[in-house]
Structures are given as structure tokens and as C-alpha cells.
Structure 1
Amino acid sequence: MTDFVLVAGAWLGAWAWDEVAAELRAAGHGVHPLTLSGLAEKRDVPAGQQRHVQDIVDEVERLDLRDVVLVGHSYSGIPVGQAAERIGDRLARVVFVDSTVPVDGESFLSGRPSDHVRASIEAGGGFWPPLTADDYAGQDLTGDQIARIVDGSTPHPGASLTEPAALSRPLGELSVTYIKCLLDGDEPMDAVQKLLKSESWELVRMDTGHWPMFSQPRELAGILHRSAVRA
């Protein structure tokens, strides 16, 4: 049995994985969706990026998990990638779901147009305000799915987006499945394309939008199950 630790992206909590988690449990896996500090039911907990890294490490150690597949969606690829190297031989594999990846010394906002995000964080009192329903158009989501995401989203801690990542070894040394959701762009970002040259990284494409845990949960769970078999 594989133990999955599932971490959703900006604005979301453990609840975002409900359907995927049910599929994985039905396949016999241990599943541990995790809400990062400052979000959802933990929204009152002060948080930055390194706090998020520690959230993941603490969860693995608290539950004494072994043969772990860490799954990071969107923003959470950054703390998941850092946590992966810190849990040592407990790690079996990492799955990045249409995510950013950590680059040593760089933040989530590095290398991208970020003035509007920084302005939003400042206006939001240090938090990045959630997207509106209109922002989810064209992402293979039903009206009900969009409403569920919007209703469940909470402001995202701005410090987690501006703090730099800290890596002690190259990500290319990890065993990784990278899932690219095609409605969010045909190709992975440059940093991911470089890492995909590693023999220990594989690329899987999904014909859906940036939130496959809502739009195609069964298909996503199937990819995660197969990644565990490869681990």
C-alpha cells in the first residue's frame, strides 16, 4: 500500500481532494489530504512558504508514513518539492499536478509578471484574494464545480508567494511524475521542461483544465495510482 499526501494549490484546502481521495482509498491506498497553514480551516494560522514546507514534513512524520507519494497541485508544488528532499527515505515518488516547482533562491512570483499579484496581496492585507467564478471559464469545469471551488476558497497567505525556496540537491534526482493540464497551456514552464530531461522524471498530459481534482477526479486518481506502481 502506498500512502499519498495530497496538497492543493492556492486558496484551497484538503477538501479539494475529496473525490480523488475516495478513488484512491477504493484502490487500497492510504490517503492524507493536507490543508496548509493559513488556508481553509487553518486560515488563522500565520504562514509563509517555509511554514508550508514544514506542514508537509510534519504530517509525514506525525503519521510515521513510509513509501510516501507527495502530490502537489499548482502553487503547492513549491513546498512539496522542498519537503520531498527533507523526508529522506520515506519518499517513494513526487507527483506535480500542473504545478510550479521550487527553484533554489527563487519565489513563486520570480520570473513572471507579478506586479498585479503583489498589488492584490497588499490590498488584501497580506493575502492573495481568491479568484472569481469568471476566472474559471474554459477550464473544463461545470457551473456546480466552479461554485464549489469559489465557495470553498480562502485568501492565500502572501508571504508564501514571495519567500524564496531552499533546495539542498537538484530536483532532477527525485523520482517524479509531472502532470500537464492542456487547457492551461500546451507545454510545461521552462523550469519543468529542463527537469523533464532527467531519466527519473516522466510527463503525463491530461486533456482538462488546471483543476483536474474537480474536472476529472477519476482520471487523476488513475494517474496517481499508476505513479505509485512505478515508485
Structure 2
Amino acid sequence: MTHFVLVAGAWLGAWAWDEVAAQLRAAGHDVHPLTLSGLAEKRGVPAGQQAHVQDIVDEVERLDLRDVVLVGHSYSGVPVGQAAERIGERLGRVVLIDANVPVDGESFLSGWPSGPVREAIAAHDGFWPCPDPAEFAGQGLTDEQVARFVAGATPHPGAALTEPAVLSRPFGELPGTYVKCLLDGEEPWGAAAELLRSERWNLVDLDTGHWPMFSRPRELAGILEASAT
């Protein structure tokens, strides 16, 4: 049995992992989807990136998890990566799913053309507004899956996107797996590409779009289970 803590990306809460969590539990694993502060049922709670890091650390320590697999999707790769360092010997492995990689002193918005996101945050009282259904085109999602996403999505706290990551050592020193969703680009880029030069990390491709917990939950659960062995 493996202990998994699952953290979804921007706009999403623990609910986004329902199908993946069911698959993992059916295989006998201990699974803890986590909603970060300011999102879903925690909407209205003040939140920045470091608050999200603490959310993850607190969950691992509260449950007294050992040999835990921390899973971060998209935005959540940044706080998950920092939490992985902070939980020390409790960590078994990190799995990042089409995720941004934490870099000390840099934010989620560093390293890519983020001007439109910053403008949207400024125009929406400090929150990144939820995407329009048209933005999901080409990501392997059915109309029903897009509707489910949009119905459950929460505007994302802007501070979580602009605060810098804090790491005390190179992230590549931790053991990990990077899952690249091919419909969202065939190659990892930026800090993710650099991370995969580490001998402690391996790359797994998944032929779907950026939100595989909706589009390919069974296959994603299988990758997570395999990563823990």
C-alpha cells in the first residue's frame, strides 16, 4: 500500500481527483486528495504560495504519513515541490503532472509570457479568473468533462502565482517522475526540461491533454501506482 497526497492545479480542489482516487483506492492504496487554501470548499481563506506549501506539509504531518508520494498537477507542482523538501524523510517520491517546477526565488509566472495572466489578476481583484469553456479545445476533454470543470472551478488566488518559491537545495536531488501530457506540448520545457537531466527523475508520456484526471483517470492512476513501485 502506498500513501498518496494529490494536489490539483489552478482553480481546482480535491474534488478534481474523484475518479483517480477511486481507482487507486480500489487497488488498495491510501489516497488523500487535498484542497489548497482559497479554493473550492476553502474559498475565502486568505492564501498565497507559501500558504499552499504549508497546506501540504500540514496534511502529511497531520496524517503522520511515511514514504508518501506527493502528486502535483500544473500550478501545484510549485508548492508540492517545496513541500516535498520540507517533509524530509517522510517523502517517498514526487510526481509532477504537466506541472510547473519550483525554482528558488522564482514564481509560478516566471519563465513564460505571463503578461495576460498578470493583467487578468489585476482586473479581477487579485484572482486569476476561471477559464472559458473555449480554452479547453484540443485537450482531449468531452463537453461533459469541460462542464464539470467549469462548474467546480474557483478563481485562483493571485498571490499564489506571484510569490517566489523557497528551496534550500536543487529540486532534482529529490526522487521523482514527470508526466508529460502530449496534447499540451510534446516536450517538457524550461525548468521541467532541466529537472529531467537529473538521474533521480524519469519521464512518462501520456497521450491526452493538460487535465488527465478528467480525460484519462484510469491511465493516470496506473502511472501513479507504477511510479510508487
Q: Which residue of 2 aligns with 1:219?
A: 219
Taking the aligned partners of 1:228 and 1:34, their CA distance within structure 2 comes to: 19
* Secondary structure of the corresponding residue to residue 6 of structure 2: strand
Give per-residue Cα distances to partners, 1:144-193, cap 9 Å, x unaligned. 00000011000000000000000011111111000000000011012111
Q: CA RMSD in A?
A: 0.6
Q: Does 1:13 align with 2:13?
A: yes
| TM-score computed with the length of structure 1 as normaliser | 0.98
Matched residue count:
229
Partner SS for 2:228: helix
Structure 1: gaps spanning 5 or more residues: none
Separation of aligned partners in 1, 2:204 and 2:37: 29
Return the alpha-carbon distance in structure 2 between the equivalents of residues 180 and 210 of structure 1.
Answer: 9
* Aligned residue number for residue 208 of structure 1: 208
| Percent of aligned pairs with the same amino acid | 76
Q: Check whether the contact 2:111–2:190 (CA below 8 A) recurs between aligned residues.
A: no
Question: Any idea what the Cα deviations from partners look like across 1:61-105, whole Å, max 9, x if unmatched?
Answer: 011111100000000000000000000111000000000010000
Q: Secondary structure at the match of 1:10?
A: coil
Aligned residue in 1 for 2:124: 124
| Runs ≥4 residues deviating over 6 A | none
Match of 1:169 in 2: 169
Partners of 2:169 and 2:115 in 1: how far apart? 30
| Equivalent position of 1:189 in the other structure | 189
Letter in structure 1 aligned against 2:69: V
TM-score by length of 2: 0.99
Cα distance in structure 2, aligned partners of 1:114 and 1:20 = 30
The CA deviation at 1:207 is: 0.5
Question: Equivalents in 2 of 1:67, 1:53: separation in Å?
Answer: 18
2:188 maps to amino acid: P
Q: Which residue of 1 aligns with 2:106?
A: 106
Q: Separation in 1 of the partners of 2:116 and 2:9?
A: 19
Alignment partners' CA distance in 2, 1:112 and 1:219 = 29
Q: Aligned equivalents of 2:189 and 2:164: distance in 1?
A: 18
Residues in 1 aligned to 2:189 and 2:62: alpha-carbon distance in whole angstroms: 34
Cα distance, 1:197 vs. partner? Answer: 1.2
